[in-house]
Structure 1
């Protein structure tokens, strides 16, 4: 898959480092509000092996408050410009707002990562245009409801079928708007409108989404599906994050989105070696 002018071959899983420039994200909120801190963290993750750095300017944790377009722009654009200007990496913008998508790509982002799967007004038009003009792909994530309501809407008759149907619908909508199949990635949305049972069902059957022949992003790092199962606070969920990353990588995930890059790179190397031997 090509991200602007950079080709990435998903012969082994790649790692995406999470870098939230927000005051209220569930794990790293408030840690990276200064550009020097952003650059230090980004460089550390790149040195540890991250292929992508995912920049987020609005928390999407359950119950999180929305922020204005201008506030989100003020958070993410300086961070993207600084990383793009000083470091060699692929920058992902974690946003649902079309204005932020456009500004982020103008600043150097190579991937749009949208938890709302281009459902906000004008998001599809802006993202499809950026795919055409800049060859910037988009990741479509499944979420039931919104960050404010999603955990009250976690009701499914068959979660695997419903997520599959969701992907089919969104892919058709995007290709009709001008995306090619090689400009789309998929994310089942662990923790977004799912119970703990739903999350582990998705993890167990993650390989089923390979039917779409698109890169799959798996993001379970430090989430409540780990904390609630193990009864561990956020800062004690590394082992659980490693376990879920391993399962995702073994099931064919193309990108593992994590807070702990160095440890996850160890997982990727072991999984890649295991899958490569007879």
Structure 2
């Protein structure tokens, strides 16, 4: 089965000023990560392609990813950045809609105030996405789930996917408030969820697959196997693990599911959600 899709990874040419979030504790990823670095990992782990997701907030980032995709056909889609708060948002979306590799957009909401998703200008941008059939990736910390629930409820015709299972505090084991939020947001038909970015919310040096299991249980109990996508979060995962280990953790967890359901998680849902 060589048709798996990694629905969440990043590329960058490291810039210490722009990428200041990659601090000394993450020195392992203070370097360039480009398609030629990812391709061998994809092949080795039976992946045929990936979705490249923005990590910095500029249209330059969207253009950078689009350029990489034009030269590497295994990059099946891009989640870029556009200023959703801009007055001319429809014009910018029209501009980007001419590039068929651009499937959606993301804003680093985890770095914003907890009421950011209630802002009128942000919501105006969200309301403009549907006309162009763009998806939206929700990147938040678990404490921002109430705002995300309000957003997905108020835009029932917009398709959303939660990145990194909404970043629960796996390291501390605090699960309750995150679990309540997931139970609520999963009720909405327009919401999918990426099993991604978990190892970096755990104890980087000492995590074990058992630490992730209670969180995976909540996701799989609340989102159907039609709504769950796999993402590696490469190269960020390198601070706590490696590509193969992250893949194997999910492989082992979903062994109990039918091959049909496993195929949905590994690639069919990514194709469906992002129109790959």
TM-score (norm 2): 0.51
Task: Tell me how far 1:57 sits from its aligned partner.
Answer: 2.4
Residue among 240, 243, 247 paired with 1:242: 247
Are 2:122 and 1:136 equivalent residues in the alignment?
no
Matching residue of 1:76 = 62
Task: Tell me how far 1:144 sits from its aligned partner.
Answer: 1.8
Partner deviation per Cα, 1:240-267 (whole Å, 9 max, x = no partner): 313322145446574559xxxxxxxxxx
Secondary structure at 1:87 match in 2: coil
Residue among 6, 10, 30 paired with 1:19: 10
What is the RMSD of the two structures over their aligned residues, measured on CA atoms?
4.9
Task: Tell me how far 1:112 sits from its aligned partner.
Answer: 3.5
Structure 1's 29 and 106: CA in aligned 2 closer, same or farther, altered over 3 A?
A: farther
Task: Tell me how far 1:205 sits from its aligned partner.
Answer: 4.0
Secondary structure at 1:20 match in 2: coil
Matching residue of 2:55 = 57
Secondary structure at 2:51 match in 1: strand
Matching residue of 1:161 = 180
User: How many corresponding residue pairs?
Assistant: 207
Partner deviation per Cα, 1:8-49 (whole Å, 9 max, x = no partner): xxxx863336123263455645314xxxx44x4576677763
Are 2:217 and 1:204 equivalent residues in the alignment?
yes
Cα distance between partner residues in 1 of 2:234 and 2:75: 24
The answer as to whether partners of 1:13 and 1:256 remain within 8 angstroms in 2 is yes
Residue among 96, 102, 111 paired with 1:109: 102
Task: Tell me how far 1:80 sits from its aligned partner.
Answer: 1.5
Cα distance between partner residues in 2 of 1:223 and 1:84: 21
Partner deviation per Cα, 1:221-255 (whole Å, 9 max, x = no partner): 6799x9xxxxxx74853453133221454465745
Task: Tell me how far 1:128 sits from its aligned partner.
Answer: 3.9
The answer as to whether partners of 1:17 and 1:50 remain within 8 angstroms in 2 is no
The answer as to whether partners of 1:218 and 1:248 remain within 8 angstroms in 2 is no
Residue among 160, 185, 198 paired with 1:190: 198
Q: Which residues of structure 1 form unaligned runs of 5+?
A: 1-11, 59-68, 172-180, 227-232, 258-278
Secondary structure at 2:124 match in 1: helix
Cα distance between partner residues in 2 of 1:86 and 1:240: 25
The answer as to whether partners of 2:109 and 2:140 remain within 8 angstroms in 1 is yes
Matching residue of 1:31 = 32
Task: Tell me how far 1:200 sits from its aligned partner.
Answer: 2.9
Structure 1's 240 and 141: CA in aligned 2 closer, same or farther, altered over 3 A?
A: same
Task: Tell me how far 1:201 sits from its aligned partner.
Answer: 1.0
Cα distance between partner residues in 1 of 2:186 and 2:41: 30
Cα distance between partner residues in 2 of 1:49 and 1:124: 35
Q: Which residues of structure 2 form unaligned runs of 5+?
A: 111-115, 145-163, 268-276
Matching residue of 1:119 = 117
Secondary structure at 1:92 match in 2: strand
Structure 1's 86 and 50: CA in aligned 2 closer, same or farther, altered over 3 A?
A: closer
TM-score (norm 1): 0.51
